[in-house]
Copies of this chain bind each other. A is one copy, B any other.
């Protein structure tokens, strides 16, 4: 009995996600859905990106959280247009929540929209939010076995950001092993090794964003 219900929910979600993708395509807005475990560094990556590319792109953020608007306040402090979704305990964002949040943001002139999903390596992966790409973040403190143990995200993501590389000397994390697992799931995956704390390695991620934005404009 449960399987058809779940299937209907996913189908309805997908349908609305396709509509969102279509609407945002008309506006030429690139949409990135950031997914990771709690504390892998999504908000810090956004703070860095929104600040460093401020003069280049007009960026907006939809912030998903179970509780609190702490993260929304952090990204809004960079000057980016921000809408907050409070899931009230819900474990993922879905396309209906994104639709409602989009009504609260002025999208005029926006080049890139980031969605910061709820911190969860499992459930958010199954709910399309109308994005162009899912971006997987993984902190090196979480262990190099995570792509193997939580494969769906790494299979579907267009890019993987290995964050907190400043901790590499202090943890047992084999970057090659993590990358090999992830690439086995997804041969096209682009991988960036960064420290959002020090700023190290972010240039590659920024170039990737520039390319993705260019490709979107041409589409």
Chain A residues near B (Cβ < 8 Å): 2, 5, 9, 37-39, 65-68, 70, 89, 91, 118-123, 139, 141-143, 145-146, 148-152, 164, 166-167, 170-172, 197
Contacts and interface: CB of A to CB of B under 8 A. Distances in A.
A28 to B, nearest CB: 33
Contacts of A67: 148-151
B149 A70 contact: yes
Given A141-B164, A141-B167, A170-B166, A150 B37 contact: no
A149 B91 contact: no
If over half of A's interface residues share one DSSP class (helix, strand or loop), that class is named, otherwise mixed; here it is: loop
A122 B123 contact: yes
Contacts of A118: 122
Contacts of A121: 37-38, 119-120
A119 to B, nearest CB: 7
B89 A149 contact: no
Contact of A149 (B65, B145, B150, B164): B65
A96 B195 CA distance: 42
Contacts of A120: 91, 120-123
A119 B38 contact: no
B39 A122 contact: no
A148 B152 CA distance: 28
A143 to B, nearest CB: 5
Contacts of A167: 141, 167, 170-171
